[in-house]
Amino acid sequence: MKLLHLMLLFDSFLGIFCFIDPFSLSIGLGIAGALWMIKGNEKNNARSNVVYRKIENVVTKACQMIGYCEGCEDSWIPFNIQDLEADFKKQVFGQHIAVDEVQKTLKYHLQKKQNPDKALVLSFHGPPGVGKSMISKLVIKNMFYRGGKTNYAHFYRGSIDFPIKNEVFKYQEKLKREIIEKAEQCNRAVFVFDEVDKMPAQVLDALWQFVDKYAVYNNVDYRNIIIIFLSNLGSQNIMSKSIELWQDGKLREDYKLEDFEGIIRTAVFNASGGLQKK
């Protein structure tokens, strides 16, 4: 699987810093109560969890049909590339490589008339404060009708969700289960993994089955999901390469992805963290 690695440059040397009717409501509350009882009283029972998920999906679809709940149709996921470009210009500075590549890649992935071959994986690298989180938030804001309040954007943080190194298998199983559940609700969901450098190695291996070409399992098509990695890995390599290019007389606005992609790939896959290859 090929990752699109996007570095966020930071170089102090260069000086750039980077409505429901009562009847429907009654039915909804009744089913919600049943769901709560199933989930709460037998949450450790695998069979009851399966029943819970099936009922939950039925309730969600019914809710969407009457226009009360967020849906997974185009009207709920319009993706406005023009507004995204405008937001980037107003809120992201000195990151022309990341901005250009994100816009180009998202436009290709989201505006194709046919489904893409596989899920989109973006990997943002650089030290804290250079715009990694901002770019991912702006992508979600302009992708979903509800913006940052969407139910279809899911966030994980390495130090909080995957803190213990010797529980990799447990984390992998949990991650697989949650990806399946969220994709069943909407197969155009976005998953953001922050602090990838603080995750135990191999945790993210759980994702690869969902990002293979033509990944369709149990009638769920995963090719339209988007996975975003945020990491400090490769920061020093980025800064060193930036200085080298500057010393060679190259202007910052002339830097290209190709100038950094190789060194970042090497740094990311060899350093300890969620993307480490063993």
| pLDDT tens figures, 115-143 | 788 899 998 988 888 889 999 999 999 99
Determine what percent of the chain is predicted with pLDDT higher than 70.
71
Average pLDDT, the chain: 78
Question: What predicted TM-score, i.e. pTM, was given to this entire model?
Answer: 0.75
E-only strand ranges, the chain? 4-7, 120-125, 153-157, 190-194, 216-217, 220-221, 226-231
**CA dist., res. 200 & res. 171, Å (int):** 9
Give the pLDDT confidence of 177-205 residue by residue, as tens digits. Answer: 999 999 999 999 999 999 999 999 889 99
Are the beta carbons of 195 and 157 closer than 8 angstroms?
yes
pLDDT in tens, 13-44: 222 222 333 333 344 444 444 444 555 554 55
Q: Could you report the per-residue pLDDT of 266-278, keeping only the tens digit for each? A: 877 776 666 666 6
Write down the H helix ranges in 130-278. Answer: 132-143, 158-161, 168-185, 235-247, 257-270
With tokens 């210009």, the residue in question is: 89
**Confidence tier at 252 by pLDDT (50, 70, 90):** confident
Q: Strands, DSSP E only, in 195-247?
A: 216-217, 220-221, 226-231
Q: Which residues contact 32 (CB under 8 A, 6 or more apart)?
A: 59
